[in-house]
Amino acid sequence: MEGIEKVYGFLDRAQTYYLATVEGDQPRVRPFGTILLYGGRLYIQTGKVKQVSKQLALNPEAEICAFSGGEWLRISCELVNDDDRAVKVAMLEKMPELRAMYSPDDGNTQVLYMKNATATFSSFTKAPETVTF
Compute CA distances 6 → 93, 98, 99, 105, 106, whole Å.
21, 24, 27, 31, 32
CA distance 70 to 133: 24
Under DSSP, the state recorded for 22 is E
Q: Which stretch binds ligand FMN (CB under 6 A): 44-52, 69-77, 82-90, 115-123?
A: 44-52
Q: Find the binder of ligand FMN among 13, 28, 99, 126 (CB under 6 A).
A: 28
46-75 mask for ligand FMN (x: CB under 6 A)? xx--xxx-----------------------
Binding site for ligand FMN (CB under 6 A): 16, 28, 30-34, 45-47, 50-52
